[in-house]
Structure 1
Amino acid sequence: MKFTKIAAALAALLISGDAALAQQALRFGHVGEPGSLFAQSAEAFARIANEKLAGKAEVQVFGSSQLGNDREMLQKLKLGQMMFALPSSVMSSVAPEFGVFEMPYIIQDREHIKAVEREMLLDVFNPAAEAQGYRILAFWENGFRHITNNVRPVTAPSDLEGVKLRTPNGEWRVKMFQAYGANPTPMAFSDVFTALQTGVIDGQENPYAQIASAKFQEVQKYLSITGHVYTPGYILTSTTHFDRLDRDVQAALILSAREAQAEVYAIAERLEVELLDVIKAAGVAVNEADKAAFVEASRPIYDEFAATVDGGAALVERINALRPATN
């Protein structure tokens, strides 16, 4: 009997110990393929964070949609099944304020987005996220988006007439491409390659980092450099589950997200050059789009955003006021 009680006690300790170890694993999911900007960003954060955490917890990265697509991971954050995600355009479906980043050509460059984060994260975007149960630790990057397709080079919006174009989930991207004359089709990123390969869709729009890492250049004929939208990546967590971490662990993770940001932007800048060469080398025909024509065709989207999103006009005005001064 005495031995049985000791064995039971030891088993209980082992079980509780296993549970404690499980709680230390901070799972970080994203949709990026190996080598993508998302993958390199998450890995940089994990390296920095795990050094600071010194064994108190461990960030473990799961890319390539292993933990689900963007919408599924948003739900898993709330359920406590993972600690971090790296959403981008899908945030416009979480809270209407994030739709401002769907406005064409509103973000000029990385200095501009840095200013927007510095001036607006704490009083606009984090309150909007927290109202839905999330918290943003830092702005990272998805990047400037361009159009690939198998129909024709896209120089002006009229060239998109009838093109079946994959977009992320988010009403404003759909509305934008409808205004340009395309046939937009929201689809999970993990499904895009097969849809392009089989002709279910004609094209898609993404930053070079996502295009090249997902090998879209293998199933696309044309790349048109439009730069129509800059999408931030958000290192996102659940307010409830993040607040349950020890305070020193929280502080280390917040600091790591900020420190990783500089590395993220440096990687993104380098990849913009390297990956355009990769896409060209695959035989994809590359052309510069007439951005002025796209800007002109985008006016109705701004008008609708201002009319339908509470405070939308003020958001646009505030972001425009943060544009870097031109020499």
Structure 2
Amino acid sequence: MSFSRRALLKASVASTALGGLGAPLVARAQAAEFAYKFANNLPDSHPLNARAKEMSDAIRSESQGRFDLQIFPNNQLGSDTDMLSQIRSGGVEFFTLSGLILATLVPAASINGIGFAFADYPTVWKAMDGDLGAYVRGQITKANLVVMDKIWDNGFRQTTSSTRPINTPEDFKGFKIRVPVSPLWTSMFKAFDASPASINFSEVYSALQTRIVEGQENPLALISTAKLYEVQKYCSLTNHMWDGFWFLANRRAWEKLPEDLRTIVAKNINAAALKERGDTEKLNATVREELTGKGLVFNAPVAAPFREKLRSAGFYAEWKGKYGDQAWELLEKSVGKLS
């Protein structure tokens, strides 16, 4: 399966979603023994939703029509906060959510976002498919949610700027950068002596355009789809954070399924997650080429000095205290010594 920026930008979200709610879907749901909703915040053409459609078809086929997974992309059923409430109450049965946002309910879930912890994808998957991921899933389970074994990929976050490339930690000094409303982001950029400003994503383009902030940080695919290259000149491949989506289920809905259906559903969800990881990595590589064509100037800083700056500023020690020794030891087991 191949993805491109053209596919990601297709204005098919509304039409696909609305069309999917028509008579065929209603009839299919009525025929199924179990018809469950899967909500997410990504465009219909994003690799996650493309693989979810494959997954839904495979589950329906393998269950001989007993289980129908209905996909609701692009925040159709509400914001992340709304859907987190719905997955807990049973308003939706399945939901994919960033660990950095899930941390409002499960604090340990944001540990994968620790600054400059992961050098590359093999290190990410070693941790998240290994003991660290198992620990986080255990914490999610304690919050009375069911979570699938494999985390889906959202990608590494990069830094863009209208004024200068970021080559060293010193380049962040005084740098006015937009960050999401999150203590982890604010803490990290303050450790670099930057000036982080918490701004809703819907306002990022105008904030960059009017120079309220000089820069922002996001995965390349989002930098492209939001057309931030129009108001930014440089893109520094800082890879300063990695984030993924946990595939969550409402516990009561999950336990209502017979064991054989649980096995079929979980197997196909986890298999789709592995395929989506490869799709997303390839998509970001393609998007980089296209952004270069749009005039964005790329550079690739070395991570070690940034890690050392965070260490000397007490960032790692602070967050080790917040997550606790056990979680931190599992992180360092995969990525090496941080604090």
Give the TM-score normalised by the residue count of structure 2. 0.78
Aligned residue for 2:240, secondary structure, equals coil
Q: Which position in structure 2 is the counterpart of 1:4?
A: none
Supply the distance in 2 between the matched residues of 1:200 and 1:62 (Cα, whole angstroms): 35
Aligned residue for 2:78, secondary structure, equals coil
Q: Which position in structure 2 is the counterpart of 1:61?
A: 71
Q: Which position in structure 1 is the counterpart of 2:119?
A: 108
- 1:259 positional shift: 0.9
- 8 Å contact kept, 1:36–1:210: no
The 5 Å alignment of 1:304-319 reads: 304-311=318-325, 314-319=326-331
Supply the distance in 1 between the matched residues of 2:74 and 2:281 (Cα, whole angstroms): 22
Q: Which position in structure 2 is the counterpart of 1:147?
A: 159
Alpha-carbon distance change, 38 to 22 in structure 1, aligned in 2, over 3 angstroms: same
Q: Which residue type is aligned with residue 46 of structure 1? A: S
Please, which of 26, 42, 49 is the counterpart of residue 39 of structure 1? 49
- 1:298 positional shift: 1.7
- 8 Å contact kept, 2:132–2:331: no
Q: Which position in structure 2 is the counterpart of 1:94?
A: 105
- 8 Å contact kept, 2:32–2:65: no
- 1:195 positional shift: 4.8
Supply the distance in 2 between the matched residues of 1:82 and 1:173 (Cα, whole angstroms): 29
Supply the distance in 1 between the matched residues of 2:190 and 2:53 (Cα, whole angstroms): 36
Supply the distance in 2 between the matched residues of 1:234 and 1:320 (Cα, whole angstroms): 21
Give the unaligned 5+ runs of structure 1.
Answer: 1-16
Supply the distance in 2 between the matched residues of 1:302 and 1:243 (Cα, whole angstroms): 39
Give the unaligned 5+ runs of structure 2.
Answer: 1-26
- 8 Å contact kept, 1:157–1:180: yes
Supply the distance in 2 between the matched residues of 1:19 and 1:236 (Cα, whole angstroms): 21
Please, which of 240, 243, 247 is the counterpart of residue 252 of structure 2? 240
Alpha-carbon distance change, 34 to 212 in structure 1, aligned in 2, over 3 angstroms: farther
Instruction: Find out whether 1:129 has 2:140 as its counterpart.
Output: yes
Please, which of 84, 87, 94 is the counterpart of residue 77 of structure 1? 87
- Bigger mean CA deviation after superposition, 60-69 or 227-236: 60-69
Supply the distance in 1 between the matched residues of 2:230 and 2:61 (Cα, whole angstroms): 38
Alpha-carbon distance change, 319 to 196 in structure 1, aligned in 2, over 3 angstroms: same
- 1:109 positional shift: 2.8
- Bigger mean CA deviation after superposition, 242-251 or 262-271: 242-251
Please, which of 287, 296, 302 is the counterpart of residue 316 of structure 2? 302
Alpha-carbon distance change, 161 to 68 in structure 1, aligned in 2, over 3 angstroms: farther
Q: Which position in structure 1 is the counterpart of 2:333?
A: 321
Task: Tell me the matched-pair count.
Answer: 306
- 8 Å contact kept, 1:31–1:190: no
- Bigger mean CA deviation after superposition, 22-31 or 56-65: 22-31
Please, which of 268, 277, 289 is the counterpart of residue 265 of structure 1? 277
Supply the distance in 2 between the matched residues of 1:49 and 1:187 (Cα, whole angstroms): 40
Please, which of 124, 131, 145 is the counterpart of residue 120 of structure 1? 131
Supply the distance in 1 between the matched residues of 2:328 and 2:160 (Cα, whole angstroms): 28
Q: Which residue type is aligned with residue 324 of structure 2? A: D
Instruction: Find out whether 1:256 has 2:268 as its counterpart.
Output: yes
Aligned residue for 2:97, secondary structure, equals coil
Aligned residue for 2:147, secondary structure, equals strand
How much is the aligned-residue C-alpha RMSD, in angstroms?
A: 3.0
Please, which of 221, 230, 238 is the counterpart of residue 218 of structure 1? 230
Identity of aligned residues (%): 25
The 5 Å alignment of 1:162-173 reads: 162-173=174-185
Aligned residue for 2:116, secondary structure, equals coil
Supply the distance in 2 between the matched residues of 1:237 and 1:211 (Cα, whole angstroms): 30
Alpha-carbon distance change, 19 to 46 in structure 1, aligned in 2, over 3 angstroms: closer
Q: Which residue type is aligned with residue 103 of structure 1? A: I
- Bigger mean CA deviation after superposition, 191-200 or 120-129: 191-200
Alpha-carbon distance change, 109 to 101 in structure 1, aligned in 2, over 3 angstroms: same
Greater C-alpha radius of gyration: 1
Q: Which position in structure 1 is the counterpart of 2:15?
A: none
Supply the distance in 1 between the matched residues of 2:83 and 2:262 (Cα, whole angstroms): 20
CA offsets, 1:124-156, max 9 Å, x none?
A: 112211222222212111111111233332222
- Bigger mean CA deviation after superposition, 230-239 or 241-250: 241-250
Please, which of 190, 194, 212 is the counterpart of residue 182 of structure 1? 194
- 1:191 positional shift: 5.2
Supply the distance in 2 between the matched residues of 1:158 and 1:286 (Cα, whole angstroms): 18
